Amino acid sequence: MKCCISLRNKFEYGVKSCDSGMFLKINVILSYIRGVNLRIISEIVKMLEAQIRKLIEESKHHVVTGLIGENPTTYSKSRIMWNVVFIYHGIDSEYIPFDVASDKLEGVLDLLLNYSKLLGFNITNPYKERTAQHPSILVDDLARVIGGVNTVHKFEDNIQGHSTDGYGAIRSIQGQSGEDVISGNNIMVLGAGGSGSAIALACAEEGGAVRVANRTFEKARDLSERAEQYGKKIFPLSLYSEKTGYSEEFMKSLKETDIVINTLPTEKKTGRPLFMGEELSGKEKICMDIVYGHRSHFLETARKNGHLCIDGRWMLLHQAVKAFEYIYQSEIHKKGLSTKEITGPMRYAITHFEFDTPNELIERRINDARGEIESSLD
């Protein structure tokens, strides 16, 4: 395909110097090359869809769910968390991660949304916003304000989309700090993307005074305007200043902040974190980073400065529990499962298994660990 694109570029470069007859010939050739490119792309999409069908159909279970992302098979613990719940409670289902390239997303969504064996699925960055725009998905009011979804499921005759990131963040902070610390406190959310927007809105709903600092001020302001339409107040800030590095307004707000939640990615070219955390001074704070499974410079710096630190595992846990309750609500009702009975097995999974632990090994070890899991539910 690179060869085709290169040829096309060379032809287009020489078009201006051609007479009308040659121009017509070149246009015919370019049309052929474009057609070849489209056919190649179409074949790649078909191959990916065939691989996904194979994964679903080869599952020995009655129904499946899963995770869409760029490469969740290389790091995500969602598979082990959900599959432990299925094994522990005897639910005939399996959770499967799907690696999906950006230009194949819409085709894969079309496939999964019409797959009868699939009850629903999760979506991770960077596909939350694009998934929310799919015409077949009915997005709830909160997710519409956020602009993205991380959970899609079939309900009666509809396909519904939700965001559970905000819920996961709130439960994570409350669970690790041992108290309700959101209401009445100053919250700083770093980043106005899908996760940052969800967390900021959730904190505002809980009564926090929320500020969102983003590299692009316009994106933070847009979130603030959408939140206002939802009846919530979020103050937008610019993270950077061309003259001083971090903006003065951001630095002033940071000193007054009680809770700092980092949702910023690393800088793509350098791999450097967009906020290192050296500026975390003043009173003791609660600091959370939504990343898990690899190093967080932000939390390392915060820990050295004596702040309470929460990594992304616990947000992952609680957002997954909420997503499970959406997708498997009929099974939960049938078995009479409580939130605690879903959380316990997932917590055990996230603390006892690596992301790539085979399902067969998980099943053996869970059967041996039933007593330990049951005691954690009390």
Between CA 121 and CA 119 the distance in angstroms is 7
HEC per residue, the chain: CHHHHHHHHHHHHHHHHCCHHHHHHHHHHHHHHHHHHHHHHHHHHHHHHHHHHHHHHHCCCCEEEEEEECCHHHCCCHHHHHHHHHHHHCCCEEEEEEECCHHHHHHHHHHHHCCCCEEEEEECCCCHHHHHCCCCCEECHHHHHHCCCCEEEEECCEEEEECCHHHHHHHHHHHHHCCCCCCCCEEEEECCCHHHHHHHHHHHHCCCEEEEEECCHHHHHHHHHHHHHCCCCEEEEECEECCCEECHHHHHHHHCCCEEEECCCECCCCCCECCCCCCCCCCCCEEEECCCCCCCHHHHHHHHCCCEEECCHHHHHHHHHHHHHHHCHHHHHHHCCCHHHHHHHHHHHHHHCCCCCCHHHHHHHHHHCHHHHHHHCC
Tokens 């979130």 found at: 223
Residue with tokens 């522990």: 88
CA distance 326 to 69: 20
Interatomic CA distance for residues 203 and 188, integer angstroms: 10
Write down the catalytic residue from 77, 128, 285, 322.
128
Q: Which two tokens stand for residue 359?
A: 């399902």
Is residue 252 annotated as part of the catalytic site, yes or no? no
Catalytic residues: 128
